[in-house]
Each structure stands twice: as structure tokens, then as C-alpha cells.
Amino acid sequence: MTALRTGVVGVGHLGRFHAQKYARISQLQGVYDANAERARSVAQELGCRAYDDLQELLTTVDAISIVTPTLHHHAVARAAIALGVHCLVEKPFTFTLAEADDLLSQAIANGVVLAVGQIERAQVVMQHLREQGFPAPRYIEAERLAPFKPRSLDVDVIMDLMIHDLDLVLMLGASPLQEVRAVGVAAVTDQADMANAWVTLANGSVANLAASRVVREAVRRMRIFWPDRYASVDFMQNRLTFYRRGSGQVPGIPGVQEEVVDLQPSDALEAEISAFLAAVAGQGRVLCSGEEGRAALAAALAVRQSVGAFLSESNYPHSSGA
Ligand code: NAD
């Protein structure tokens, strides 16, 4: 248990879980939500104070999570950073790159830790892959498909779901984004609900990413290829399997060896928040820094721009001779 005093701003669906973790591993001072009734109910559940005034909460804490809709991340984070409060900002980091840049410079000026909630980095499969110290992958394929939910509809599927895989591609490739080509369609909302992106990094790594928020069955998978092996990741089952050329025998693929990695299940949100608090205490680094959160946002905005070009009227296929 750390002695750090913490708080959560925005305790809707995800913010309530943040508050539960802080209550377990730190001194949760209180929560603030634009919906006072919601703040009271979460505070009552966790035995902390519901603040009616954001500034008052900010003056009583060392560190907070910001779990409001993305549109409000910048304003809340700016107010917190100005008071020297360390911030874990949910993903997407901010709405615009200008807002992200502003927070990055304010965080440096005020000496605070700024982390971004790109939570897939905290999954045990990703932590294991990082620890192996593999070189940049040659190619990555990812599918992130989810049934429709009436949440996060203020953003498109790229900011909602694909940004997770864009962040992992940048993390595993450890190289800046070079080029993006993407397509997408609006199926239920008036923004892209499905998208497919072809992403190239400066070091030559390539990724093909599919995301949808309008399928019947959830899928969260990634396949990562190096010249001598490939890794199959199932985020939902917490399963990591390596395939290599070798003496083994995978049914139907002779000469290929399979290795299922035995991983203990762990709580990704608690791991993310623990790393943040450790960094605040000067005992480690955050799982996703402000700069890394900005890079994921920039990649998502590039995908969105490419999807926008695809969706624009001038690109709509016309039947010849009609
Ligand atoms: P939500 O709508 O359930 O909750 C948002 C809460 O913020 C609401 O209770 C609302 O009253 C409150 N709020 C709105 N404006 C506020 C303000 N200015 N100050 C304080 N409170 C305010 O949304 P959610 O699904 O919990 O998502 C919240 C954030 O978390 C979004 O940025 C979203 O992208 C992110 N998110 C991340 C993941 C992930 O996988 N890391 C998953 C879901 C959501």
C-alpha cells in the first residue's frame, strides 16, 4: 500500500474501475464527476469523498486518473498539472495533437508524471513479449472486433478500438510511423464503425489492422511475425503461442514447432495504475508515457484522415455507363 493520495475525475463506466483500484492500492481521497449523483454513488461504494468542486479535489491529491469523455481530457489534465498533480489520462490521450503537445510541455514545466491509459500494454501477454527483447517485427496482423455498445460514441472506431493496436504496433516496432492507408465505413453511427488500416513504420515494419464495433462476437487477436518465428496473441484468453520452424509437428503443418507460453492471469488496469503510482514515487516508469500516447493519437488521426478520403463522395465507386 502506497501513501500516495489519489483521486479519479470522471467515474462513469471505466472511471469506477479506476477508483476501485486506487482504493485497493493507495489512499483514495475522493472522486469528482460532472454528474454529482454518479460521484456520490461511487464514493459511497468505496468509502471516499464525492467532491462537488474539481479544484478542491485537485488540491488534496498527489495523483489522479482522468476518465472523462475524451473531449474533456485536456481541460481537466491542464488544471491538474498546473497544481502539480500527476496524471494518468485515459486513451485517447486528447482530442487533438495541439492539446497533447500543450499537456506534454506543461507536464515538463511543472515536473509531473504524465501517463496515458493505453491498457493493452499492461496485458500480461504484452508484458511477456516486451521482456523477451525481440527485434522489431517484420509484419503484424491484428483484429479488434466488438459487439455494438452505446458507449464511446463520441469517437469513431479508430479512436475507440484501433488506437490500441496502433499503439502496440508502435511499441513493438519501436520506430516512428511512416505511412498509413486505410478504409472504413459508417454502419450504425455517422462515424466510421469499421476500419482496416495498412501501416508502415520508418524501420520497414508493416501492420495490417482491422477494427469493428458492430460485430456479433468479440475478437481481440494479434499475430506478430519475425523472420524465424511468429507469435499468436489472444488478448481475450490471455494466450500467447509461438510457432517456429523445428522438429515438432503442428497438425497440418509439418516441421513447425509450437510453444504455448504459460502465463498467469493478471489485472491489466491494476498493473497500469500500479506502474503509474510507482513512477510518481520515483520507483519505475509508466507503461505508456505522454509522448507514446501522443504517438498513438497521431497514428489514429492519420488513419482517420485516410478513412475520410475513402469515404468522401469523390471516391465513391460509380457504375460505368449508368
Ligand atoms: P462514461 O460515459 O461511462 O463515463 C464518463 C464519465 O465522465 C461520466 O460519468 C460523466 O458524467 C463524466 N464527465 C463528463 N464530463 C466530465 C467533466 N468535464 N468532468 C468530470 N466528469 C465528467 O465513459 P467511459 O466509457 O467510462 O469512458 C471514459 C474515458 O475512458 C474515455 O476517454 C474513453 O475513451 C476511455 N476508455 C478507455 C478504455 C480502454 O480500453 N482503455 C475503455 C473504455 C473507455
**Chain segment 88-100, per-residue pLDDT in tens:** 999 999 999 999 9
**Chain segment 205-242, per-residue pLDDT in tens:** 999 999 999 999 999 999 999 998 999 999 999 999 99
Q: What is the mean pLDDT of the chain?
A: 94
- 128 shares its domain with 249: yes
pLDDT score recorded for residue 1: 46
Question: Does residue 137 have its Cβ closer than 6 Å to ligand 1?
Answer: no
Q: Ligand 1: distance of its center to the CA of 69 in Å?
A: 4
Last residue of a domain, one of 61, 77, 112: 112
**Domain coverage including residue 58:** 5-112
pLDDT greater than 70 at residue 301 = yes
Q: How far apart are CA 148 and CA 217, in angstroms?
A: 10
- 224 shares its domain with 196: yes
Q: How far apart are CA 145 and CA 173, in angstroms?
A: 23
Residue 277 lies in a domain: no
pLDDT score recorded for residue 154: 80
Reduced to 3 states (helix: H, G, I; strand: E, B; else coil), residue 149 is coil
Residue 291 lies in a domain: no
pLDDT score recorded for residue 150: 83
Q: Ligand 1: distance of its center to the CA of 91 in Å?
A: 10
Of the chain, the end-to-end C-alpha distance in Å amounts to: 71
> How is residue 170 written as a grid cell?
508502435
Specify the residue with its C-alpha closest to ligand 1, atom 8: 12
Q: Ligand 1: distance of its center to the CA of 81 in Å?
A: 19
- 259 shares its domain with 156: yes
- 97 shares its domain with 166: no
> How is residue 51 written as a grid cell?
467532491
Q: What is the CATH number of the domain that holds 161?
A: 3.30.360.10
**Chain segment 241-252, per-residue pLDDT in tens:** 999 987 766 777
Last residue of a domain, one of 112, 146, 166: 112
Residue 88 lies in a domain: yes
Domain count, the chain: 2
pLDDT score recorded for residue 319: 58
Question: Does residue 151 have its Cβ closer than 6 Å to ligand 1?
Answer: yes
276: Cβ–Cβ under 8 A, 6 or more apart, which residues? 63, 86, 88, 113, 115, 286, 287
Where does the pLDDT of residue 313 fall: very low under 50, low under 70, confident under 90, or very high at 90 and above?
Answer: low
Task: Please state the rounded mean pLDDT for residues 303-318.
Answer: 82
Q: Ligand 1: distance of its center to the CA of 12 in Å?
A: 6
Q: What is the CATH number of the domain that holds 23?
A: 3.40.50.720
